[in-house]
Amino acid sequence: MRYFYDTEFIEDGRTIDLISIGVVAEDGREFYGISSDFDARRAGPWVRRNVLPQLPPRSDPAWMSRETLRERLFAFLLPGHPAGEWQPAAQRPELWAWIGAYDHIAFAQLWGDMTGLPRELPRFTRELRQLWEDAGRPQLPEEPTNAHDALADARFNVVKYRLSVQARDARRR
């Protein structure tokens, strides 16, 4: 199963602090979580201007502790599979993000350091930007008006993936 995701985070060159994660599954299911543990005072001007104003009020159920976020995200990515249960590599989730290096770190750090990431989850994120370039840089629609909302960006990643695969397949014919 492919999962298209995006994260919003605060980073200072040393630390990446997850704000939110949005994930869209290939089957249409969606997940959106906001960490109630991030420190908004550490956000730089860009995050204050583009990310924080889009977050729903703290009373919204999307706000949760990192622990709860981690548990719900795992259950979303591997429905019906308890943590620690062996799963063949072919049945593991496939993660996709646009320029996803920082996204993968923010994702993985929900479990602490890399050694804490459950073995059922991938150690890397597939790169949508590279797929798009390899497909000949097909025309993409304009970014959504709510860009930098993690779920909106995850939904847009699905669009980027589909257009890129169509263009790649057309080039192969």
Amino acid letter, residue 83: A
Closest CA to 152 of 23, 9, 13: 23
Contact (CB, 8 A) for 164 and 132: yes
Contact (CB, 8 A) for 32 and 20: yes
37 is in an annotated binding site: no
Closest CA to 137 of 159, 158, 167: 167
Binding residues for Mg(2+), as ranges, are 6
Binding residues, as ranges, are 6
